Structure 1
Amino acid sequence: MKIFLTGGTGFVGSHFLREVQKSGHEVVAQCRPGSRPRLQPSQNPLWIERPLDHNFEVELAGCETLVHLASHTPNPPYAPLDECLYWNVYATTRLLQQAARQGVQNVLVAGTCFEYGAAAEGIDFVHPGTEMRPSLSYPISKAAATTVCLGIARSLGLRLKILRIFQVFGEGEAASRFWPSLRKAALAGDNFSMSAGTQIRDFIPVEEVARQFVDALSFTHVEPGKPQVRNIGTGVPQTLIEFAQYWWRAWGATGELQPGQLGLRPGELQRLVADIHSVHIT
């Protein structure tokens, strides 16, 4: 299969690129000028160094599947809403329309669990058909992008899957995020300040996310114009402090975990765990 990939130098994208190359697929990969992979692929794809809002119709010609992993400021502090909307909605819209004009029928898009926003409050396991009610710039733009992708797929008869990723962690993750920050402190022998850690999350290793995206390249059971949305997680609830304690021991940390030293982020949910068994068809 010939695949057009966006976000191939990013956290999830770098792992996906490694995993998809094991299956022998041919990959044409867009990346921002000057961007380099978080992890070096086993072999370099055909890199297209061009901003996401440019034209890719020449490179899309002959591709069977578009895998869209690129996203703008997925980690706090998020960019302003207008900037997020431009890159996550407008640029995505252009890309899907270009792909459709070049005969690409299969589209796989990375979503985020934060699209659910306040609608996930009080739900034990969040169904992929749950209403989207985000309140911050990046999640708002991703929810808007989902709506646009679903509409384009229905109107143009594309086979579309949107996979909403839950609490992914692992090698190549942005240094400011929880797992890399925890590891840095553990390996340095430092203490680590954190919130009370009572938040319940669905932590999934990035390698497993990459495998599930590769598995999703089969569109056998997806009908044209009837997009599917599903969650990518483990379905296993775990508190933040349990997660931290596990890795603290695994790394042989000599410092101390210091829960309760930090507060929660604005709008942070107490529980966010995936229903991984359901598929929402729109």
Structure 2
Amino acid sequence: MKLFITGGTGFVGSHLINQAHAAGHTLVAQRRPGSQSRLKLDREPQWVDRALDGDFTAELEGCDAVVHLASHTPNPPYAPLDECLYWNVFAAVHLLQQAAALGIRDVLVAGTCFEYGEAAQGLDVVPPATDMRPSLSYPISKAAATTACLGLARHLGLRLQVLRIFQVFGDGEAATRFWPSLRAAALEGRDFAMSAGVQVRDFIPVQDVARQFLAALDFSQVEPGRPQVRNVGTGHGQTLLAFAQHWWAHWQATGQLVPGQVGLRPGELPRLVADMNSVHIA
């Protein structure tokens, strides 16, 4: 397949590019001017250096599917809501409309488990049909983007899948996030202060996220105008502390984990684990 990928230099995007090339796909990849890949690429795609709200008509011509991974400020501190809505909703819809005008009907859109927000409270696993009740700017904008893309897919007869990513980690992750911060402390022999670590998450290696996106490129089970929402995770929960202890031992760290020294982020849920056994036909 010939794929048009947004967010090609990002954390998930870099891994997906390597895996998609290995699988024999031809890639056209959008990137913000000046951005660099988070990971060493085995092979360069055809890069398009342009902001996401630009005109991609020429580059979309001849593509079989769109994989939309780009997102605005996915890591705290989040940008203001109006800014998130512009890039995560308007720009995404603008891109899909350009693709549809050229006859491209197969679309994957990366969502986030944080779209569920307070609706996930009390659930052992979160089915993809769960309501969206986020309360922070970035998750609100991603939930709005999902709603807009699902509506557009029904209106235009797209074969659309929204893939909501759970707690992804691995090489190429932003240095300020938990796993890279933990690794840096371990390898430098420092102590690592963290929260009590009682929150339960569905931790999934980024390579497995990329594999699930590649598998979703088989659109044979997706009907035009009947978009699907799926979770991208493992279906297994683990406390943050247990996760940290596993990697601390793996890296043979000489420092100490110091749980309970950092507070929880506002709105942080006690448990967020994917239901991997159901698909929501939206």
Give the TM interval when normalised to the shorter protein.
Answer: over 0.9
| CA distance, structure 1, for counterparts of residue 40 and residue 72 of structure 2 | 21
Aligned to 1:221: 221
Aligned to 1:103: 103
AA in 1 matched with 2:199: Q
| CA distance, structure 2, for counterparts of residue 50 and residue 193 of structure 1 | 39
Contact 1:107–1:161 (CA under 8 A) maintained in structure 2: yes
Question: 5 Å matches for 1:239-254?
Answer: 239-254=239-254
Contact 1:61–1:103 (CA under 8 A) maintained in structure 2: no
SS of equivalent residue, structure 2 residue 229: strand
| CA distance, structure 2, for counterparts of residue 24 and residue 145 of structure 1 | 30
SS of equivalent residue, structure 2 residue 198: coil
SS of equivalent residue, structure 1 residue 16: helix
Contact 1:121–1:269 (CA under 8 A) maintained in structure 2: yes
Contact 1:187–1:253 (CA under 8 A) maintained in structure 2: yes
| CA distance, structure 2, for counterparts of residue 36 and residue 185 of structure 1 | 25
| CA distance, structure 1, for counterparts of residue 45 and residue 264 of structure 2 | 41
Q: Work out whether 1:164 is the aligned partner of 2:164.
A: yes
Shift of 1:75: 0.2
Question: 5 Å matches for 1:52-67?
Answer: 52-67=52-67
Aligned to 1:91: 91
SS of equivalent residue, structure 2 residue 168: strand
Aligned to 2:199: 199
Contact 1:193–1:261 (CA under 8 A) maintained in structure 2: yes
Deviations 1:9-67 (A, max 9, x none): 00000000001001111000000001111112211110000000000011111111000
Aligned to 1:141: 141
Question: 5 Å matches for 1:11-90?
Answer: 11-90=11-90
SS of equivalent residue, structure 2 residue 78: coil
Structure 2 gaps, min length 5: none
Contact 1:28–1:47 (CA under 8 A) maintained in structure 2: yes
| CA distance, structure 2, for counterparts of residue 26 and residue 281 of structure 1 | 29
| CA distance, structure 2, for counterparts of residue 48 and residue 94 of structure 1 | 16
SS of equivalent residue, structure 2 residue 179: helix
- Extract structure 1 runs of 4+ deviating beyond 4 A: none
Q: Work out whether 1:273 is the aligned partner of 2:273.
A: yes
| CA distance, structure 1, for counterparts of residue 24 and residue 77 of structure 2 | 37
Structure 1 gaps, min length 5: none
CA RMSD of aligned residues (A): 0.5
| CA distance, structure 2, for counterparts of residue 238 and residue 50 of structure 1 | 39
Question: 5 Å matches for 1:251-266?
Answer: 251-266=251-266
| CA distance, structure 2, for counterparts of residue 74 and residue 20 of structure 1 | 23
% of aligned pairs identical?
70
TM-score where L is the length of structure 2: 0.99
AA in 1 matched with 2:179: W
Contact 1:154–1:227 (CA under 8 A) maintained in structure 2: yes
AA in 2 matched with 1:121: Q
Question: How many residues align structurally?
Answer: 282
| CA distance, structure 1, for counterparts of residue 17 and residue 41 of structure 2 | 7
Contact 1:72–1:84 (CA under 8 A) maintained in structure 2: yes
Aligned to 2:209: 209
| CA distance, structure 2, for counterparts of residue 187 and residue 126 of structure 1 | 35
Q: Work out whether 1:131 is the aligned partner of 2:143.
A: no
SS of equivalent residue, structure 1 residue 267: coil
TM-score where L is the length of structure 1: 0.99
